[in-house]
Structure formats: structure tokens, C-alpha cells
């Protein structure tokens, strides 16, 4: 069963290895995308897990000085082109409709952006990222920036004037707007003004009260908007202590209860997490999740969650 996974942080690991181990512009790297054990979502694990399409995020740590963030973003784009897209049978998805054209032996790669920090207040840089292939933009990570506030920011404001301009650029270019890290007020603004809206990696807050999860009202608004919620494998977003796939499915139950059977997908956050769901430690173990989905909801529903919902909504 094919899977579309809407979030991983493999590019950050690849960039970090190139920058910190060897110096970015040297050729030799310890990590390689094909089979490095340090990558939860390497190519061999992707193939074993039947991950047909993977979204690869550009993420800039808030600790990076502002004048270096654009360079870090470009280094991650370079890792996407030089490491990911050079894999055999890998196809660069430059329009989401391309996903439907993938052949049986081909795998799709989508470039995304997690946080407007990468381009500061420069819309030209954002448009450059679109030209490089970015098809999804999250305005924030947990901190605030010039566009909006994340769930960890104490100000609690909605989008800034600049943030609304970013949303306008995404709308004009048919780019998905990712609400996963937005605070409540920013979420409201994006729901009202965004064209294509989704949560790339979030769970249900009424199941586990974590700031990164979505309130029931937010899930309902996404459903009404024609968007989707992609469940995330980060244990602190799922439950207390060691969590299982059954614990993760409680979040699926809640989304279904709210009317979202056709609006659920998967956004693992592999390579961005350091704790793991039991029997879901890397992409090669996706079969364990699919089996649990089939047993609980049936094969047709499992296929919808795995990939078909995303295709029907956005492709």
C-alpha cells in the first residue's frame, strides 16, 4: 500500500553532516541518503515502507543568526537536489498533480518549508524557493517571526501584515499553507485567507493536551476548508510515556468522530524526532501502522489515510 508522508527532516540532518563534519563545500560526507542508519527516512527504508511520496522540509533553527538563515536554507535545498533527487527512480514533484503520474517503480520527492525565518522579510526569497520547487509553506516553527507566532510564542497574536503577504504569495502560486506550528490566532487568519490549507504533522489536542496538537474546533475548520490533518509520530504529541500504534490511532478516532475520515493523512516527522512510537521507529516499519489501520478501519479506509485522501484533496 503506497504512502504519502507530508513531513520529515532528513534535509536538516544531511545539511548538518555536510556543514559540521566536513565543511559544507567539501564532497565527502558521512551521511548518504541511500542507506545511512542515522536517517529514519533514508531511501532503502522508504522503499521497504512503501513511501511513494515524501515531503522534505527545509527547517532553520531559531538559534541560527538571522544573517545566516538564507544560507542554511540554500544548503538544505542543495542536499535535496544532490542527495535525494539523485536516487534511482526518484522524481521531483514540482506540481502536486505530478503525484498521480508516478509510475509503479518511481518515488516522488516534494520540497517544503517549515518556518518563514528562512526568508526573513524578503518575498523575493520566498518566490525563489517556489521556483526551486517548494510546494508547502509553514509560516512558523514554535517561535514567533516576522510573519506570525508559533505555539511557543507568548505574544499570542495573529498574522502580521507581512504574514498576510506571505499567504497571498502562497495563494497566487497554489502552494499549500501548513498550520501545524501556528498559534490559535494565526490559525484563524490562515483558515480565513489561505487557499489550500493543511496540517502537515499534528494530532488531536482533546486526546492529548499538547500545544502542538489541534483543538477539535481547529480540526473541524480544516475539514470544512477542504484541508486535512496528517497524524504525527512524535510521542510527546501522542500520549504519556512509551506510546504505541494503538495510542496513535486514538487520534485517528477523534478526527473520524469530527467528520474527517476523508481528511486524514500521515506526516511522520521522521528525522525530526528523537523518541519513537513502539514498532514505528523508522520508515521501514510503516507496514506495522498500515496493518493496524486495516484491522481497525478496513483496507479501503487504510488506503485513504495512507495516500488517497491527499491525492483527492490536493492533486
Q: Judge whether residue 25 has pLDDT over 50.
A: no
Q: Judge whether residue 26 has pLDDT over 90.
A: no
Q: Judge whether residue 28 has pLDDT over 80.
A: no
Q: Judge whether residue 24 has pLDDT over 80.
A: no
Look up the CATH number of the domain holding residue 306.
3.20.20.140
> Cβ-count burial of 102 within 10 angstroms (0-12 exposed, 13-18 middle, 19+ buried)?
middle
pLDDT of residue 52: 98
Mean pLDDT over 148-160 rounds to: 94
pLDDT of residue 20: 64
Q: Report the chain's mean pLDDT, rounded to a whole number.
A: 95
Domain that holds residue 105: 3-314
How crowded is the C-beta side of 183, counted as CA atoms within 13 Å? 19
The SS3 assignment for 41 reads coil
Mean pLDDT over 48-67 rounds to: 96
State the pLDDT confidence band at 16, using cuts at 50, 70 and 90. Answer: confident
How far is 32 from 177, CA to CA, in rounded Å? Answer: 30
Q: pLDDT tens digit string along 234-273?
A: 999 999 999 999 999 999 999 999 999 999 999 999 999 9
What's the domain count of the chain?
1
Least confident of 21-25, 202-206, 262-266, 305-309: 21-25
State the pLDDT confidence band at 161, using cuts at 50, 70 and 90. Answer: very high
Residues 6+ apart with CB under 8 A from 34: 42, 43, 44, 87
Amino acid at each position: 500500500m503506497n504512502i504519502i508522508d507530508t513531513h520529515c527532516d532528513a534535509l536538516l540532518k544531511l545539511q548538518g553532516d555536510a556543514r559540521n563534519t566536513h565543511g559544507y563545500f567539501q564532497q565527502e560526507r558521512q551521511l548518504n541518503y541511500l542507506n545511512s542508519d542515522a536517517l529514519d527516512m533514508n531511501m532503502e527504508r522508504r522503499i521497504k515502507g512503501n513511501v511513494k511520496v515524501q515531503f522534505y522540509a527545509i527547517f532553520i533553527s531559531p538559534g541560527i543568526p538571522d544573517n545566516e538563515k538564507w544560507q542554511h536554507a540554500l544548503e538544505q535545498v542543495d542536499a535535496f537536489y544532490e542527495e535525494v533527487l539523485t536516487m534511482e527512480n526518484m522524481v521531483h514533484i514540482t506540481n502536486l498533480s505530478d503525484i498521480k503520474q508516478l509510475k509503479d517503480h518511481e518515488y516522488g520527492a516534494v520540497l517544503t518549508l517549515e518556518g518563514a525565518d528562512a526568508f526573513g522579510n524578503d518575498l523575493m526569497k520566498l518566490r525563489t524557493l517556489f521556483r526551486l520547487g517548494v510546494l508547502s509553506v509553514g509560516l512558523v516553527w514554535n517561535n514567533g517571526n516576522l510573519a506570525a507566532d508559533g505555539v511557543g510564542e507568548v505574544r499570542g497574536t495573529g498574522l502580521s501584515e507581512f504574514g498576510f503577504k506571505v499567504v497571498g504569495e502562497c495563494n497566487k502560486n497554489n502552494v499549500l499553507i501548513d498550520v501545524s506550528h501556528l498559534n490559535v490566532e494565526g490559525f484563524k487568519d490562515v483558515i480565513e485567507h489561505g487557499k489550500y490549507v493543511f496540517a502537515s504533522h499534528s494530532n488531536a489536542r482533546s486526546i492529548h493536551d499538547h500545544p502542538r496538537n489541534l483543538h477539535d474546533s481547529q480540526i473541524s475548520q480544516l475539514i470544512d476548508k477542504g484541508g486535512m490533518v496528517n497524524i504525527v509520530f512524535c510521542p510527546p504529541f501522542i500520549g504519556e510515556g512509551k506510546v504505541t500504534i494503538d495510542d496513535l490511532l486514538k487520534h485517528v478516532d477523534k478526527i473520524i468522530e469530527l467528520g474527517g475520515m476523508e481528511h486524514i493523512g500521515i506526516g511522520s516527522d521522521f528525522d525530526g524526532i528523537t523518541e519513537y512510537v513502539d514498532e514505528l521507529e523508522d520508515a521501514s516499519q510503516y507496514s506495522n501502522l498500515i496493518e493496524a489501520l486495516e484491522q481497525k478501519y478496513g483496507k479501503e479506509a487504510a488506503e485513504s489515510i495512507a495516500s488517497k485522501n491527499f491525492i483527492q484533496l490536493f492533486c
